[in-house]
Chains A and B, each alone.
Chain A
Amino acid sequence: MAPLSLYGVANTLVSTLLLHLAAVLPAPLSTLASNSGLITALSVLLFGAILLGASLLNTILLIWFERKMLGRFMDRRGAMHVGYAGLLQNFADGLKLFRKHTFKPRDADGLGFFSAPTAYMVTSIVMFGILPISTGWNSGSLPLSLLLALVVFSFAPLFIFLGAWSSANKYSLIGGMRSAAQMIAYEVPILLAVVAVILLSGSFDLSTIVAEQRNYWFWGPLFLALLVFVAGMLAEMERIPFDLPEAEAELVEGWNTEYGGMLFAFFMLADYARALVGSYLIVLLFLGGWTMPGWVPAPLTNFPLAGILWFQVKTYLVFGVFIWVRASLPRVRTDQLLRVGWMRMIPLALLSIVLAALVVLAKCLPVFGCVPSVGG
């Protein structure tokens, strides 16, 4: 039996449906329905729809998780009444935003103003197609999927700045400038920290990186890289303590000051999709992805969809740490942020590369037995 994959499920569903349709349809249509090209096309569509739907649902669940957990940090309960324990509150909020009037400031540039939320959203959504949640979740292994993911991830500041500049508002512009400066400053340590992972795993393919963590997860030997990566991710997600592009006290709402209604909802959803993607990346690169260590009893890891489950558990734990940080720390200043980014994070990331190289070398010591297939 072929391993369970999302595309396989979609393909089976579509072909079964079309076969039954072909049985009842008249002659010219029935040949069309049994066309293999059509089946493949519909399967790809269904696969994409499931992937997108599941990912966005997960994003909304993440918002719920943050609201509940942040509530406990603040000695309150968070959303309570819509749905069980407030699970449907975010849908209600979305519906409210959907009903609102979409407007554009008089001096704003229409093209940039309206395309920026969508484009920003796309940079987050495309990531869901690239990052493997479990074996068989995505369509196949991309040999350079890590690189592709980081490239797409780095596109976001461009669209934030686009939206900020098109808004024709000084707060938006300042927020956009801060956002661009912050994201570019922390892009570099993130990439350098990823280099350490690549050194250790010897691959740009996320599936291979996860497979290389079968013996030990990378957070142990690459703890320094993990620290740099998490700090950089916090800055990339613009979460507290690095949320100064949206600093309410000084910039109203930062780069999305002029956005309201559904456009704001797009930015909000994309922000959380970005947070989810960032947590995915941390789990994939440092926490062993969907694999579990050997001491976990087999019944807990053997059942179907166990990989997805454990991946999500790890993701939510990582995001829980982000919420913890958000509940604890005050916002930093721009100069502190940039100084830490350029003058502390980059040396630390470089140091972590050296450490990763040492680990790769140590693996070739006779004590451990040289494993030539691993590493560069």
Chain B
Amino acid sequence: MAESEPTPSSNPVLWVAKPLVTAARQFGKSLFRPSTIVYPFERLEDPKFRGAVRVAPGKPIGVGQVWDNYRGVHALNIDTCISCNLCAFSCPDLCIDMVTVPGGDPRHPKKCPQIDYGKCSYCGFCSDACPEGCLTMTTRYELSVSKRADMIYSPERLREVFNAKLPMSPIRVERPKNEDAILLDAPLCIGCNACARDCPTKCITMVDLPKPVPKGGEKLPKRIWKEPVVNDSDCVRCGTCISVCPKECLFWGTHR
């Protein structure tokens, strides 16, 4: 036992008097202002309220303050979203759907995350995974609605949250070292351009291959004589190219 039990006093008068004094001290302390925050009327994040209780911004009232990495409703900057699908891919609750938003070209519609807060566990994996920092979590925590359908936030609603300019959790800017890269199994490639077409960051370029001269009797493979080259610094590792490749010639691997 690290903490020893306080021994009770042998004086019965103290049994009564000590708690009375303690309670009176507490009463005097909370007479001016109890620790309770009258929530719908007073908000911890409201600067006016913080001024009224004379607490500097960023300093805790009572219990500690956790605003700098609070995980509330998401904010989505649709303009910078590249439709890479990483948020939906990383979501452990499968609460993110990629839905079409206006603004993409008709053949490759722009898709942005739509979040069902009935399923969301606020783990923050999606905002960690977002390579562009366009999906972040904010300090908004009021989500009560009267209809189940209202729990689903469309990209437009998420953009409204973004426009409200709430404090956001920090965006991961640095990519991890020794990240796996997209590698090409060259003999399998048919040069179909699917990877370059669907790459959200347009970091894949198709370079021309010299068409070999067929030797006597040898049949050349039936393919387009191009090959994808990945610009590694622009690649966000979304894996779209791997999933669209018809020949499974792209794969994850360490750098050469």
Contact = CB atoms under 8 A, between A and B. Distances in A.
A107 interface: no
B5 to A, nearest CB: 16
Contacts of A329: 16, 19-20
Nearest to A326: B23
Interface in A67-100: 69, 71-77, 80
B34 A77 contact: yes
Contacts of A80: 38
A119 B35 CA distance: 42
Contact of B23 (A71, A73, A76): A73
A80 B22 CA distance: 25
B36 A76 contact: yes
A324 interface: yes
A73 B29 CA distance: 9
Contacts of A75: 26, 29-30, 34-36
Contact of A324 (B24, B29, B34, B38): B24
A328 B22 contact: yes
Contacts of B38: 77, 80
A364 interface: no
Interface string A202-244: 0000000000000000000000000000000000000000000
Contacts, number: 41
A327 interface: yes
A261 B24 CA distance: 35
Contacts of B16: 328-329
Given A328-B20, A328-B22, A73 B36 contact: no
B19 A72 contact: no
Nearest to B32: A72
Contacts of B19: 328-330
A374 interface: no
Contacts of A29: none
Interface in A49-82: 69, 71-77, 80
**Looking at chain B, what size class is its interface with the partner chain?**
10 to 19
Contacts of B220: none
A73 B26 contact: yes
A244 to B, nearest CB: 17
B23 A327 contact: yes
Interface in B1-35: 16, 19-20, 22-24, 26-27, 29-31, 34-35
A114 B44 CA distance: 50
Contacts of B36: 75-77
B27 A76 contact: no
Contacts of A71: 34
Contacts of A74: 26
A330 B35 CA distance: 23
A317 interface: no
A56 B193 CA distance: 87
Interface string A26-64: 000000000000000000000000000000000000000
A75 B19 CA distance: 15
Contacts of A144: none
Given A75-B26, A329-B16, 4 more contacts: A77-B36, A77-B38, A327-B27, A328-B20
Interface of B: 16, 19-20, 22-24, 26-27, 29-31, 34-36, 38
17 contacts: A72-B27, A72-B30, A72-B31, A73-B27, A73-B30, A74-B26, A75-B34, A75-B36, A76-B30, A77-B38, A80-B38, A324-B20, A327-B23, A328-B16, A328-B22, A329-B19, A330-B19
Question: Nearest 7 A-B pairs (CB), nearest first?
Answer: A328-B23, A328-B19, A76-B36, A75-B30, A327-B23, A328-B20, A72-B30
